[in-house]
Amino acid sequence: MNWKTILKSLKNRDMLKRVLALLGIIVVYRFMAHIPVPLASPSALKDVVANLVSSTDLGGFLNLLSGGALTSLSIILVGMSPFITASIITQLLTKAIPKLEELHKDGESGRRKINQWTRIVAVPLAIVQSIAYIYILRQTVLAGSTTTALDSSLFSWVVAVAAMTAGSIILMWLGELITEQGISNGISLIIFAGIISRLPDNMATIGKSLIDTTSGSLSVFGWFTLPVDPTTFWVSLALIVAGIVLLYVLVKINEAQRIITINYAKRVHGNTSYGGIKSILPIKLLSANVIPIIFAVSFLSLPAFVGQILVANGKYAALGNNLISWFQSPSAGSFTGATWQAFIYPVIYFILVILFTYFYTGIVFNSDEIAENLQKQGGFIEGVRPGMQTEKYLSKIVNRLTLFGSLMLGLIAVMPFAGEYILYNVAGISNSSLSISGTGLLIVVSVALESLRQLNSRALMVTYDEYK
C-alpha cells in the first residue's frame, strides 16, 4: 500500500470529491442511526429495547451489525438485511434461469437491469421485516413493560413500519452511492462503519472492568502493584495477542493469489505487428472477500428471528424457543458442549461460509467468460488450448483455491466459539462477546483491506501522468 500515492491523489479534484462524498455518506448513515422510530415515548422505548438487547446474544450480535441502531430503535433498524437477501435471491435466479444468465452476460446494461430488480425485491422484504420487528416489539418487549408507548394507535405503528422501510431503502441507496464512488463496496463499508462505531463503547466497557479493583489488584513479581483487575488484565492481554495473530492470518489470506501467465500471439497487420507479449492473470485465494461471512450471518439470523415471531404469537412457542436456542450465537455460558444442540450454530455457520464462498466466487470469477475473452484477444495459457480447455483449466485452479480459502475462512469464523469454550470451561472466565468480536474483526479486516486496495488502485490511475 503506497500511502504517498494516495495522499498525492487527493490533489486531484475528482479524487478528493469521491473521498469527501464517501465520508459524507458515512456521516449521514451514522446520523440516521440516531433518528428514532416515530412512536410515542421514544426515550422510554429505547430504554426497554436496550435492556432486552443486552440480555441476549442474538440481540447483541444484531445490534453490532446495525451499528447500534437496534438499541437506539432507529429508523435503520432493519438495516441492509433486505437488500442482502434480495441479492442472494436474484443471484441464485441468475444461475437457475438461462434468460437471466444471458442478461447478466449482456454487459453493463444487463447488470443494471438485474440490480434494478434486486432493489424492487428488497422493498417488500423490508416491509415484511419491519412488520415482524414491530410485531415482536408489541408482543414481547412492550407486553411486560409499563411504558406509555403501549397506548400507541394502529396508525402510529403503521407510520413506524413505513419509517423503518424507508430507512432500509435509504440505506440501500447510500450503499449504492458508495459503490459508485469506486473506492469500496457499499454494503460491506456500511456494515464496517456500524461495527467500528461500537468500538468506543466496547473499549469503555473493557476499561471500566479493567480498573475495577474490588476483587484485588495485579501484583508484578511482588515488586509493585498495578491498580487493575488481574483476571481482566490477563484475559485482555490474551485477546490482544490472539487478535494480532488473527489479523496477520487474515491479511495473508486476503492478499494470497495465484499468478497465471498469459501469452498473446504475435499478429502482423500491414507493416505493424501486434501481440507477442506476456501478461498476468492474478486469481485471489478468496475472490469473494468478506461477502460469504455477511451472507452466512444474515442467513443464520433468520431462524432465530422467526423463532421470536413464533414465541410472540404464542401458538408455536415451543418451536420458537427451539429455533432461538439452536440458532443463537453461542455465548461462553451456553456453549458448554454438553449437548449436540450447542454445536448446531457453529457447524452450520462453518458450512454456510464454505457454500457462500463457492457461490459468490462463481459470480465474481466467470471462467467461461474469461476464457472466451482471452480467445478473442489472441491470448492463451502456455500448454493449454484456447477455448474449452482454458475454461476447464481456470475452473480447476479456482476450485482448488476456493476450497482451501473457504476452509480457512470457515475455521477463522468459528475459532472464537472454541476460544469461548476454552475460556469458560477450562479457565472459568466468562466473556460472552468474544464470538461477536471475532466475527466483527473478520468483517472489519477484510473490508478495510479491500477498500484500501480499491483506493490505492484509483490513486494510481489519478497520479499515472506523474510517472510518465
Give per-residue pLDDT as tens, 433-463: 555 555 667 777 778 888 888 888 888 887 7
Question: Which range has the top average pLDDT, 90-99, 316-325, 379-388?
Answer: 379-388
At 333, the pLDDT band (50, 70, 90 cuts) reads very low
User: What's the pTM?
Assistant: 0.71
**Count of Cβ atoms closer than 10 Å to residue 263 Cβ:** 16
- Write the CATH number of the domain with boundaries 215-468: 1.10.3370.10
Give the chain's radius of gyration (CA, Å).
25
All structural domains of the chain with their residue ranges? 215-468
- How confident is the prediction for the chain on average, in pLDDT? 76
Contact indicator for 195, 67 with CB cutoff of 8 Å: yes
What the block records as the C-alpha cell of 164 is 423503518
In this structure, of 5-9, 135-139, 197-201, the range with the lowest mean pLDDT score is: 135-139
Average pLDDT over residues 283-293: 80
Measured CA to CA, the distance from residue 291 to residue 352 in angstroms comes to: 12
**Nearby residues of 169 by Cβ (< 8 Å), 6 or more positions away:** 122, 123, 126
Q: Which of 453, 455, 459, 451 is nearest to 9 (CA)?
A: 459
Cβ 468 vs Cβ 13: under 8 Å: no
Whether residue 207 has pLDDT greater than 70: yes
